[in-house]
Amino acid sequence: MTSAGPGRPRHQQPSRPGATARDEILDAAAELFTTQGFANTSTRSIADAVGIRQSSLYHHFKTKDEILDDLLTGTVSSGLAFARAISAEAPGAGPAGSRLHALALYDGSQLSTAHWNLGILYHLPEARSGRFAGFLADRQELRDLYRQLGTGVSPKGWTVIGGADFGDLAFRLVESLISLRADGMTTPESPLQVADSAVILCGLANNLPAIRSHSAALISDWARRLE
Domains 21-62 and 65-226 share a fold: no
- Residue 53 per-residue DSSP state: -
Residue 10's DSSP bridge partners are: 52
CATH of domain 21-62: 1.10.10.60
> What pLDDT sits at residue 179?
95
- Prediction pTM value: 0.87
CA–CA separation, 122 vs 71, rounded Å? Answer: 11
**Residue 6 and residue 21 in contact, taking contact as beta carbons nearer than 8 Å:** no
Can you give the pLDDT at residue 165?
84
Asked whether residue 24 carries a pLDDT value surpassing 90, the answer given is yes
Backbone torsions φ then ψ of 2, nearest 5 degrees: -100, 165
pLDDT at 15: 57
> Which candidate, 119, 96, 118, 111, places its Cα nearest to that of 198?
96
Domain boundaries, the chain: 21-62, 65-226
Helix (H) or strand (E) holding 101: helix 98-113
| 107 Cβ neighbours under 8 A, 6+ residues apart | 78, 79, 82, 83, 142, 174
The CATH topology of domain 65-226 is: Tetracycline Repressor; domain 2 (1.10.357)
Count CB-CB contacts under 10 A for residue 13.
Answer: 9
**Residue-level pLDDT at 155:** 62
Q: How far is 170 from 100, CA to CA, in rounded Å?
A: 8
Report which of residues 217 and 162 the model is more confident about.
217
Q: What is the pLDDT of residues 178-209, one digit of tens each?
A: 999 999 999 999 999 999 999 998 889 999 99
Give residue 187's Cα distance to chain centre: 17
